[in-house]
A and B are shown apart, each in its own frame.
Chain A
Amino acid sequence: MSAPAAIYLDHAATAPLAPGVGSAMWRVLDGADANPSSAHAPGRAAAAAIDAAAEALAALIGAPPEALVWTSGATESINLALKGAVGFAGGGHVVSVVTEHHATLDTLDVLERGGTRVTRLGVDGEGRIDLEALDAAIADEATLVSVMHVNNETGVIQDIPAIGALCAARGVPLHVDAAQSLGRERIDVAAMNIALLSMSAHKIGGPKGIGALYVRRRPRLGLAAQIHGGGQQGGLRSGTLAGHQIAGFGAAADHARAVREAEQPRLAALRDRLAQRLSAIDGVTRNGSGAHVAAPFLNVSVAGVHGDALLTGLTEGVPALAVASGAACSAAKGQSSYVLRAMGRSPREAGASVRFSLGAATDVAAVDAAAARFAEEVARLRALASAA
């Protein structure tokens, strides 16, 4: 990671490489980098490395390894899932949620312009969907449901087991965007009735540029390919497989599976410590309650400071905090976090929000230093405005 002086609390954006990932990638590059589709021995060695990675990733989600399709990342997986399912069915009614990642929202916009019917469900003040509203939408001739497991801004967890049960009861396939939940939340595609699951490697300490889509085998789910060519991966996603990337994803999955049970409670405790310290600052409110928020996430809004000023002050001050805001643009232009606004926050509240996302290297000292720096910056900005 660059910017070594920063306190890195942006693991939801990307996580540093997990132990064993770099060496796993290098082993493929240095000894098994033939085309895995080739029938000769070097090709078989490359294919074996990919098979091992598939076993590791499949074990993390309770799936058979042959149900995985390698992609370039979660965005491509989501595109393949949504466009593929709609394309195979020749249209239909897709039910999703207003707080989805833009990979889903923008894909749905494209499908809608092509004639697909799309329903976007709202969320409550805690960022969760109403299951009765979902059931009613599914009953209205839905052909696919798409819900993200853990929200990328707030960390809010949707009740995938309950959503999956509703979908299964009505025979409608469920696509889950697991970009932020893989390795953090328990995922069992069979038990949760998940038909399609989009995943990304770099969120769990794997390399960037590799992802996967789980596609249910039984009952069979039809998908129309979105990338055509050599017919690799059963024709679902053509293109020579990047063995070293896949091996890295597999190593990251292995690591995540090994440490998840201990690591997530540790991060939750650190997150709660951070939340407690920030809550002592006047005008700080938490977005998403602890019970339904994934362990590494804390999203807060701050009254009386400008969002851009706060984020710049935190990221460029000393010590620098590598944190994120859901708001890339000013609240006045109505472009503050659409996720927080959907949860009922005002544009200004949504604009002055900060996402902390903790990870393997986060410790008590980092959390305490971040909280102190945050309090200092809020006080500084409020003082600058106090005579205004």
Chain B
Amino acid sequence: MRSTATPAEAPWLGRFLRPRHAACECDIIQWKGSGEADTPAADAHCRLFVDAAEGVIASAAFAAFGPPVVIACADWVCEWLSGRTIDAARSLTVREFEQALVLAPHERYAGLLVLDALTGALRDV
């Protein structure tokens, strides 16, 4: 269901309209790790790309199909990951998404979707 928050007031709106970490199809092979996840009914899909060296994530990018909040969560996590250790990334929970983007309960699934994609990406690095 579409967010009941007024979109103009939703904290995730800016990230949806102006994401800074979208992956380019042209260079996805350069990324060391990638993981993807779908919502159960395939209404949304997220793929995360990460680069890491010596246990630290250098950068991350995303590609996503889905509601605005999915794109916002994917963009936010890419920013959050940069400079963090892989161990810190593995300990990330949906609570951080909820707090950072002020997700409504019905938007929580977007954070979980992105977390699932992140789990897959971290397996490769």
Whether the Cβ atoms of A387 and B36 lie closer than 8 Å is no
Among A313, A328, A332, the most chain B Cβ lie within 10 Å of the Cβ of: A332
Query: How far is B17's CA from A208's CA once the two chains are assembled, in angstroms?
Result: 33
Binary contact readout A41-68 vs B (1 if CB under 8 angstroms, 0 otherwise): 0000000000000000000000000000
Whether the Cβ atoms of A317 and B67 lie closer than 8 Å is no
Q: How extensive is the interface on chain B, given as a class? A: 20 to 34
Whether the Cβ atoms of A387 and B7 lie closer than 8 Å is no
Query: How far is B4's CA from A329's CA once the two chains are assembled, in angstroms?
Result: 11
Decide yes or no whether B92 CB sits under 8 A from chain A. Answer: no
Given known pairs A328-B1, A330-B1, A332-B42, the reply for A384 and B71 (CB within 8 Å) is yes
The stretch of A82-90, A215-223, A304-312 in contact with B is A304-312
Decide yes or no whether A131 CB sits under 8 A from chain B. Answer: no
Which of chain A's residues has its CB closest to B1's CB?
A329
Whether the Cβ atoms of A313 and B65 lie closer than 8 Å is no
Whether the Cβ atoms of A316 and B17 lie closer than 8 Å is yes
Query: How far is B7's CA from A388's CA once the two chains are assembled, in angstroms?
Result: 25
With both chains docked as a complex, state the minimum distance between the C-beta of B93 and any C-beta of chain A, in angstroms: 23
Decide yes or no whether B46 CB sits under 8 A from chain A. Answer: yes
Besides A333-B43, A387-B25, 12 more A-B contacts (Cβ < 8 Å) are A308-B68, A311-B2, A312-B67, A312-B68, A328-B1, A329-B2, A332-B43, A384-B63, A386-B63, A387-B23, A388-B46, A388-B64
In B55-113, which residues have CB < 8 Å from any A CB? Answer: 63-68, 71
Q: Which residues of A lie under 8 Å from residue B24 when comparing CB positions? A: 387
Q: Which residues of A lie under 8 Å from residue B25 when comparing CB positions? A: 386-387
With both chains docked as a complex, state the minimum distance between the C-beta of A214 and any C-beta of chain B, in angstroms: 36
Picked from B42, B63, B71, the residue with its CB within 8 Å of the CB of A309 is: B71
Among B13, B40, B45, B68, the most chain A Cβ lie within 10 Å of the Cβ of: B68
Picked from A312, A332, A335, the residue with its CB within 8 Å of the CB of B16 is: A312
Decide yes or no whether A383 CB sits under 8 A from chain B. Answer: yes
In A356-388, which residues have CB < 8 Å from any B CB? Answer: 383-388
Picked from B1, B17, B45, the residue with its CB within 8 Å of the CB of A388 is: B45
Which of chain A's residues has its CB closest to B45's CB?
A388
In B14-70, which residues have CB < 8 Å from any A CB? Answer: 16-17, 19, 22-25, 28, 36, 39-47, 49, 63-68
Query: How far is B113's CA from A388's CA once the two chains are assembled, in angstroms?
Result: 13
Query: How far is B42's CA from A315's CA once the two chains are assembled, in angstroms?
Result: 25
Contact residues of A: prevailing secondary structure: helix
Whether the Cβ atoms of B63 and A388 lie closer than 8 Å is yes
Given known pairs A329-B1, A332-B43, the reply for A316 and B8 (CB within 8 Å) is yes
Query: How far is B65's CA from A332's CA once the two chains are assembled, in angstroms?
Result: 13
Whether the Cβ atoms of B43 and A384 lie closer than 8 Å is no
With both chains docked as a complex, state the minimum distance between the C-beta of A10 and any C-beta of chain B, in angstroms: 15
Binary contact readout A313-329 vs B (1 if CB under 8 angstroms, 0 otherwise): 10111000000000011
Query: How far is B28's CA from A315's CA once the two chains are assembled, in angstroms?
Result: 31
Q: Which residues of A lie under 8 Å from residue B13 when comparing CB positions? A: 312, 316
Query: How far is B28's CA from A386's CA once the two chains are assembled, in angstroms?
Result: 11
Closest CB pairs A-B (n = 10): A332-B43, A332-B41, A387-B63, A388-B63, A385-B65, A308-B67, A386-B25, A387-B25, A387-B23, A388-B47
Decide yes or no whether A331 CB sits under 8 A from chain B. Answer: yes
Q: Which residues of A lie under 8 Å from residue B44 when comparing CB positions? A: 306, 332
Between A and B, 23 residue pairs with Cβ closer than 8 Å are: A306-B65, A308-B2, A308-B67, A309-B71, A312-B13, A316-B13, A328-B2, A330-B2, A330-B43, A330-B67, A332-B39, A332-B41, A333-B1, A384-B22, A384-B63, A385-B64, A386-B63, A387-B28, A387-B49, A387-B63, A388-B36, A388-B63, A388-B64
